[in-house]
Structure 1
């Protein structure tokens, strides 16, 4: 049996993570993700390699394949059922492991997470920030729930499974050579491209 450092890892690697997959594979999500990443990528240059931390079944990866058809795409995912789906995506390099156990074999032009840091044990965030920073050659994008101060949110009847905070601010405070390039908000009531009230922050290494 796989052993994990945190309760949150066990939660997402197991039955709840499997159930999450069933709720997040609608066609509209691919369209919404494509619109979101088009807005983000237009502020970047020469992105040839990308890694997603917490890719699930690859709904973000599918959007990126359309927008960056020649880029090398990579994914880190903890849930085995999701990994089996990721392996069906042509030319995707999949790392089946926890983000807390991941070490990049080489840096990537763009490192990102979408709705993932919100589910990580807050005590583990400094390690995750370090891993994302060290994995990035140039850009880091965080697409998460924002709050100016850390707070826990009840999540589908569970406690200690979702948190909001200023993830990007904490990352930039830790690594001063990161410069904010752009940011934006996607609204759950958008009449065309629905997302879940996510705020995105695109940062670039300027050291």
Structure 2
């Protein structure tokens, strides 16, 4: 397999062996149950959604949950890591794309009713976030959902012994500032010690264009 050189060290990190190891760490039945619980709440705050696009889908564990919750709807995704993409492409009822959000030409893709990230913006170099926000906004026809680690001010956190690989901030707030026509529909938090449906201390924000 030829390893492509991407624009940032964070992309190279996830496209390589660390991204591949992440696959096995997160392939658990408990996560599917927790994802079903999480997305049932989020999708319950939407209306008329027929198509979904996930940015940074890995092997499609979130797509699995959405396919179960929304049978017959179109699920598409973008994934950087080639090993993960091989599994992902068999799960999407729409189209699976292999590559980076930074390289993606959003204008060439159709719009999707619901575009989301889950644990992806935290791994993008902060200098590239305005570009990613623009692409999320362009790709969405109605809803944008941001499911990430929240912090009121930008901060860099060591990640499994690596520096400059995880950044926490108010991603949703930055999007609402950059795109005043967007509104906040709903938001929530999933605690890692939830007795039934734990998630990794994720905050979610549902925006509508």
Report what 1:171 is aligned to: 175
CA distance in 2, matches of 1:197, 1:22: 20
Report what 2:146 is aligned to: 142
- For the 8 Å contact 1:146–1:167, the answer to whether it is kept is yes
CA distance in 2, matches of 1:74, 1:176: 27
Unaligned runs of 5+ in 2: none
For the residue of structure 2 that corresponds to 1:192, the secondary structure is coil
Aligned with residue 73 of structure 1, among 72, 75, 99:
75
1:2-33 residue CA offsets vs partner (Å, 9 max, x unmatched) = 12110000000000000000101100000000
- For the 8 Å contact 1:51–1:74, the answer to whether it is kept is yes
- For the 8 Å contact 1:115–1:145, the answer to whether it is kept is yes
1:12-69 residue CA offsets vs partner (Å, 9 max, x unmatched) = 0000000000101100000000000000001100100100000000000000001111
Unaligned runs of 5+ in 1: none
Please, which moves more after superposition, 77-86 or 90-99?
Answer: 90-99
For the residue of structure 1 that corresponds to 2:7, the secondary structure is coil
- For the 8 Å contact 1:86–1:92, the answer to whether it is kept is no
CA distance in 1, matches of 2:59, 2:68: 16
Report what 1:117 is aligned to: 121
> What's the CA shift for 1:87?
1.9
| RMSD between superposed Cα atoms in Å | 0.8
Report what 2:12 is aligned to: 10
Report what 1:162 is aligned to: 166
With the length of structure 2 as denominator, give the TM-score of the two structures: 0.96
Aligned with residue 53 of structure 2, among 51, 54, 59:
51
> What's the CA shift for 1:90?
5.5
Aligned with residue 39 of structure 2, among 30, 37, 40:
37
With the length of structure 1 as denominator, give the TM-score of the two structures: 0.97
CA distance in 2, matches of 1:5, 1:158: 19
Report what 2:26 is aligned to: 24
> What's the CA shift for 1:102?
1.3
Question: For this pair of structures, how many residues does the alignment match?
Answer: 205
For the residue of structure 1 that corresponds to 2:95, the secondary structure is strand
- For the 8 Å contact 2:51–2:75, the answer to whether it is kept is yes
